[in-house]
Chain A
Amino acid sequence: MSLPNPPAMMDQLQEVKIPFAAGVVESLQAGDLISLTGTLFTGRDQTHRRMMALLDEGADLPVDLAGQLLYYVGPSPARPGQVIGAAGPTTSYRMDVYTPRLLELGLMATMGKGSRSQTVREAMVRHKAVYLAAFGGAGALLSKCIIAAEVVAFADAGPEALFKFTVEKFPAVVINDVQGSDYYEMVKTGKDVSR
């Protein structure tokens, strides 16, 4: 990613490759600032409803989510010559009702913005999964960290299609780690406001 005046923070992020190598997810701690490089899948409201319908029918999902990161985003359309339009996170709680079922299938990380329900937090501990927050409202900047994008399924759902993104140095904050810590809660209770 090349920014005109990147904040110093952008060079100090802990680099993480996705999909995750063994042991990496377990090493992430609530409050860690990381940058993601590799591939991920996307999905938001309609994407989840359609995946649940497939699972209800006993069918396979269009992609194997085991070991993967699922990013909650509905990108804006790309202009000619662009990889993707703006592509920042959407609010995650709307996916809470669907998330435990995907974690059971081996999904290793989700990324969006905002708090997760207690049920999802417990499921993350049980399945050793993490939740990351991307920077909300920075969709133009984050589009620069996406170097390839293709629709994998549900193309007719437009921005709610399931995409595969190849990302490079995509910044995020670890909110929920596998030990059950929640960084938003830590900030609220004053346990960690030093950063």
Chain B
Amino acid sequence: MRDIEAALITEAVKKITMEAGVRLEPDILEGLVSARDSETSGLAKNILELLLVNADIAAREKIPVCQDTGVAVVFIELGQDVHINGDLGEAVQQGIQAGYQEGYLRKSVCDPITRVNTGTNTPAVIHIELVPGEQIRISVLPKGCGSENMSGLTMLPPSSGISGMKDFVVRQVVNAGPNPCPPLLIGVGMGGTFEKAALLAKKALIRPLGKHHSRPDVAALEEEILTRINEQGQGVQGLGGNNTALAVHIDLFPSHIASLPVAVNIQCHAHRHKEIVL
């Protein structure tokens, strides 16, 4: 059994929240560079270059990469041999609040009925999973809602099969058009139940960009769907070209014999995520 102080968790969450807001991770920067290099449209190539300049300014001057610094989604893998001295949930919320305040990040969370801003960007959405070991892995995903709003879920009949799943994902991206700020990262959750599919889709986003699923048939599906999306020609910002999406990440879970849930979580190119292990 290992003891961890709640204050240490607050400090770690604050630190990665502030960093995530202004600094794109190397995987997404590499994705933007390779999109720029492969881009066939002159305008799209220029815009991709401009997005790389934007990332550079953001990191150097600590200005958020995008003004929508998101609702904070926090994934925690909690080692079952860890004992926390204090309240884990409260420690995370305090870290988010301090990170948004001290990082000059925009507070975008409001009451769903009154629409009054909570003023702290809390509550964060926290997902906790118990895992073996005595470490805590914390991932912060500040999720912008221009892209979140374009996400969707369907409960397909199993007869729709793989082709139904592929069509749904491609249609969801095409219908989103320029709204979610392409080039996009597409998280797909397939199987499980209604809520499990959505969570799989969200968690697929924090996989390193373009890292394929370990199952070869799933990896092939990721590649095929990405190609189909990019053949549609909507391109960067919906202004044309061959880079509507940077990657498709699919995750799976067995489903009921009667069911085939498919969730598509759309993420913009300002894909901010940061992880820390305590």
Contact = CB atoms under 8 A, between A and B. Distances in A.
B66 A78 contact: no
A114 B54 contact: no
Nearest to A195: B43
Nearest to B178: A114
B146 A78 contact: no
A140 B57 contact: yes
Nearest to B21: A76
Interface stretch (B103-111, B131-139, B185-193, B218-226): B103-111
Q: Is the interface of B mostly helix, strand, loop or mixed?
A: loop
Interface residues of B, number: 49
Interface string A63-98: 000000000011111110010011110110100000
Interface in B35-53: 41-43, 46-47, 49-51, 53
A21 B49 CA distance: 32
B146 A136 contact: yes
A85 B270 CA distance: 16
Given A5-B53, A46-B115, A86-B64, A113 B58 contact: no
A121 interface: no
B69 interface: yes
A157 B237 contact: no
Contact of A137 (B42, B54, B57): B54
Nearest to B61: A140
Interface stretch (A53-61, A102-110, A162-170, A181-189): A181-189
B146 A77 contact: no
Interface string A141-175: 10110000000000001111000000000000100
A187 B62 CA distance: 35
Nearest to A160: B117
A79 B106 CA distance: 12
Nearest to A92: B179
Contact of A141 (B53, B115, B238): B53
Given A187-B234, A193-B240, A138 B179 contact: no
Contacts of B56: 4
Contacts of B67: 73-76, 85-88, 90, 139, 159
Contacts of B240: 187, 192-193, 195
A136 B239 contact: no
A8 B233 CA distance: 23
A20 interface: no
A76 B104 contact: yes
B269 interface: yes
B237 A159 contact: no
Contacts, number: 167
A115 B107 contact: no
Interface in A8-39: 8-10, 33
B106 A77 contact: yes
Contacts of A159: 67, 106-108
Nearest to A189: B233
Nearest to B119: A158
B28 to A, nearest CB: 11
Given A76-B64, A90-B146, A114-B179, A140 B54 contact: yes
Contacts of A137: 51, 54, 65-66, 181, 268-270
Given A74-B67, A188-B234, A136 B53 contact: no
Nearest to A115: B177
B95 interface: no
B77 interface: no
Nearest to B150: A91
A106 B147 CA distance: 31
A135 B236 CA distance: 10
Given A91-B179, A136-B268, A74 B108 contact: yes
Contacts of A4: 53, 56-57
B106 A3 contact: no
B108 A77 contact: no
Given A4-B56, A184-B238, A140 B64 contact: yes
B149 interface: yes
What 3 pairs across the A-B complex have the smallest Cβ distances?
A114-B179, A136-B181, A140-B58
6 contacts: A7-B47, A46-B115, A135-B47, A137-B181, A140-B58, A187-B233
Interface of B: 22, 41-43, 46-47, 49-51, 53-58, 61-69, 104-108, 115, 117, 119, 146, 149, 177-181, 233-235, 237-240, 268-270
